[in-house]
Structure 1
Amino acid sequence: MLTASFPATVFGTNCYLIAPGRGEECVVVDPGIGVVDTLRDALAELRLRPAAVLLTHGHVDHVYSVTPVCGGTVGAYIHRDDRYRLADPLSSLGPQLVSMFEQQFGKAPTWTEPTDVVPIDDRQALELTGMTFEVRHTPGHTEGSVLFGIDEVPDGLPADTEVDSTVLSGDTLFAGSIGRTDLAGGDGEAMQRSLRDVVLPLPDTALVLPGHGPGTTMARERATNPYLQNL
């Protein structure tokens, strides 16, 4: 599958484009703050047309650009337990973050809720762009955090890369770390259950594309990630 990614201007949130190939419809994952221009250029270069936006959770750094990307015709998919966050994700920004936003962009942040919001559930199979995205609910970072699993891997991986599936892990799992649980809606015990019951059973051959930072594999995380030890 064709996979492209780039970090958002603020917080470095990874935005992903997933498609069967160039010139096809694509899925956009987690369009964060300040990605609209970069995303538009990437779509034009690869001749891609957004068919859906998948949101791993409802924090503003993962959803801020969802409405301009959806454009009133493309659905935004989010777990129903985080659906409420799309009403006003800016409410979580404190004065310092608002000031940083104004310095970066020269204006105060604004928000308009996307027109077409599609609530999703655990183990739901989303048939999009000719591919299947399996939803796995992983509360802990937020109430409605999810992973999206795909039974394909990005084109162009090194020949010795032993992976046969892909997981878009949002802020549940990072390379060497996990998402924080001390924000509103976070729950340390729920995160432990999600890691034990959903993340650890993933196969070693799963490529992990997280919401922040570099990609990794489940084999590497199982062996080295301190937050997965002794679960």
Structure 2
Amino acid sequence: MIHIEILTFNPYQENTYVLSDEQQNCIIIDPGMHNLAEENRLKAYIQDNNLRPIALLNTHCHVDHVLGNNFVYETWGLKPQFHEGEIPVWASVQNYAPQMGFRYEPSPLPNTFLHDQQEIELGEHTLKAILAPGHSPAHLCFYVADQHFLIGGDVLFKNSIGRTDLPGGDQATLIKNIKNNIYTLPDQTVVYPGHGPSTTVGYEKNTNPFVRA
């Protein structure tokens, strides 16, 4: 059984996820730490639970989701993994992060890139990458079918959707991908978003004011 830990970081209240298995392997997703206290909080959680980080994943590369990439690399030797289509977003962060008041140590580039439908192993468990652009050019979500949950990044929120006014965003593309790639998952699938509380696919299909089933 995968344990899901949610750590909320930075002024954007971004949800960083640590997924761990029965053997204390863990995957860090979207580390958003923006100061020493937040870095120490992530490190303490991992050390206190005797976890062994084996992978670093990014759903996408907006600043609030990659602020901690370099810390994870320096601490555990893990380079991020994300879709190659996010490289322009990744490259732009170094320029605009200081203008937003963030201390940003540039994220390393992946050794290998993720692609749609790729499977990522966490011990005996499998995460499947689902490509769902629109909020960003090559946004990925990570789906665990046997536990009915999705790490959704900034695609779908409780009664909302990701913003599309940033470079690389497109509302029509986002809505299409929510309908075709997210709403086709089982209704009981719990969606853990990049910001705010969790929701379910079934709830959003019936109530989301932006995208109805």
**Common topology (TM > 0.5):** yes
Residue of structure 2 in register with 1:52 after alignment = 55
User: What is the deviation of 1:115?
Assistant: 5.7
For residues 73 and 98 of structure 2, what CA distance do their matches in structure 1 show?
27
Given residue 150 of structure 2, which amino acid in structure 1 is its aligned partner?
V
Q: CA deviation at 1:90?
A: 3.2
Q: Is the 8 A contact 1:83 1:119 kept in 2?
A: no
Indicate which of 198, 206, 210 corresponds to 1:223. Answer: 206
User: Aligned partners of 2:94 and 2:183: how far apart in 1?
Assistant: 33
Cα–Cα, structure 1 residues 170 and 115, in superposed 2: closer, same or farther, change >3 Å? closer
Residue in 1 that maps onto 2:24: 24
Q: Percent of aligned pairs with the same residue?
A: 30
Alignment equivalent of 1:40, drawn from 34, 43, 55: 43
Unaligned runs of 5+ in 2: none
1:160 maps to none
Deviations 1:23-74 (CA, angstroms, capped at 9, x unpaired): 6110001101323111001101211111111101000100111111123732
Q: Post-superposition shift, 1:116?
A: 4.2
Alpha-carbon deviation of 1:182? Answer: 0.5
Q: Tell me which residue corresponds to 2:174.
A: 191
The answer on 1:202 being equivalent to 2:205 is no
8 Å CA contact 2:59, 2:141 repeated in 1: yes
SS at match of 1:228: coil
**Is there any run of 5+ residues in structure 1 with no aligned partner, and where?**
102-108, 154-164
Q: 1: CA distance between counterparts of 2:33 and 2:111?
A: 19
2:65 is equivalent to residue 62 of structure 1: yes
SS of 2:28's equivalent?
A: strand
Please give the per-residue CA displacement for 1:170-211, whole angstroms capped at 9, x wherever unaligned.
Answer: 000111101000001111121121112111111101011000
- Check whether the contact 1:78–1:117 (CA below 8 A) recurs between aligned residues: no
Q: TM-score, normalised by structure 2?
A: 0.90
Alpha-carbon distance between aligned partners in 2 of 1:90 and 1:115, rounded to the nearest angstrom: 13
Q: Distance in 1 between matches of 2:183 and 2:201?
A: 8
Q: Does structure 1 residue 74 correspond to structure 2 residue 57? A: no
Cα RMSD, aligned residues only: 1.8
Structure exhibiting the larger radius of gyration computed from Cα positions: 1
Letter in 2 for 1:184: P
Equivalence for 1:138: 132
Is the CA contact (8 Å cut-off) linking 2:94 and 2:106 kept in structure 1? Answer: no
- In the alignment, the residues of structure 1 paired with residue 140 and residue 70 of structure 2 have an alpha-carbon distance, to the nearest angstrom, of 20
How many residues of Structure 1 are paired with residues of Structure 2 in the alignment? 208
1:169 is aligned to 152
CA distance 1:94–1:64, change in 2 (3 Å)? closer
